[in-house]
Amino acid sequence: MAGLREIQGQIRSVKNTAKLTNAMKMVASVKLGKLEQKTKEGSQYHDAFEGLFKRIMNIVGEIDHPLSKDPKGGKHLFVLITGDKGFCGAYNSNVLKLLGERVSTLKLEKDDYAVYSIGKKGRSLALFRGVSLLEDYTENLSSDLPDEDMKEILGKLTDGYISGHWREVEILYTKYVNQSKYIASSSTLLPFKIEESDEKEDIGSWIFEPSPEIIAKMLVPVAVRGMVFRALQESLTCEQAARMIAMTQATDNAKDIEKQKQKLFNKLRQEAITSELLDIIGGAEAIN
């Protein structure tokens, strides 16, 4: 059994761990509060934009745009969105698990698909599990992704689709529901499809400049960018929520271990004191 000094060292180590995990929990909580607000505002904008687009589709019917045309060949491209760091539970591994499920569901062979990773953890996990990566974006992700980086990401996705390298582009991300619920989800990015609105439009008094068809074509790239940005925003929010929960559990576990070690320390110290008292009493009786 460990001695008193060794147990004291273990108690100090566990206390330091609890301080560290608690600090990480507080940092994640602050970041989550900011990201939650941005995600909520972004979702409202995206929903309003989608509603407007559907109303325009009632007038146009179909969109003649390269990003909306049915593919003729190429590979299936998965865009994998994960975080840059760990300590967030199963957040990163759940998205990679979804990738495996989608490959099995679509019955894709290894040469039939490619993976574009956004986030360092997704890249590392994919390589560890033997998934071949087309390319990756491993710069530090933040809620304010630079426009240049967003253009770079979108360019690789859209240019490859238009040139026929990809027959479909599917984005794998984590959908945010609330602080304790987030779901690994998939969404088809390309070919871009949008349903018509159920509401019938009375456009007799409407004035379009330019025509509805041109407006619809102009909105397609904006909609695709919005889908990617929304997936990134929700994934970043989920990452901080997962990290806050993971660090809360780690802190609680560390405190439980500290209590157990303290009880063991007290027990051993009491045994040591009792043993010394017995020796003293025994020695005194021997003298008498």
Partners of residue 79 on adjacent β-strands? 116, 171
Distance CA 152, CA 136 (A): 11
| Structure token digits, residue 47 | 């929903």
Distance CA 215, CA 65 (A): 11
- Sorted by where each starts, the structural domains of the chain and their CATH numbers stand as 4-25+247-287 (1.10.287.80), 34-245 (3.40.1380.10)
Q: With CA atoms as reference, report the closest residue to 83 among 56, 120, 108.
A: 120
Phi first, then psi: what are they for 76, rounded to 5°? -90, 120
pTM, whole model, 2 decimals?
Answer: 0.84
For the chain, list the strands marked E by DSSP.
75-81, 113-118, 133-137, 166-178, 181-190
Distance CA 3, CA 91 (A): 40
- Per-residue pLDDT reduced to its tens digit, 225-255: 999 989 999 999 999 999 999 999 999 999 9
CA distances from 255 to 2, 11, 25, 39 (A): 20, 10, 14, 33
Q: With CA atoms as reference, report the closest residue to 173 among 137, 106, 227.
A: 227
- Per-residue pLDDT reduced to its tens digit, 171-210: 999 999 888 888 999 999 999 988 766 666 666 667 777 8
pLDDT on residue 211: 83
Least confident of 85-94, 130-139, 155-164, 242-251: 130-139
Contact 193, 255 (CB under 8 A): no
Distance CA 79, CA 117 (A): 6
Distance CA 32, CA 243 (A): 10
pLDDT on residue 152: 81
- Per-residue pLDDT reduced to its tens digit, 3-57: 788 888 888 999 999 999 999 999 999 999 989 998 888 889 988 888 888 888 8
Contact 99, 172 (CB under 8 A): yes
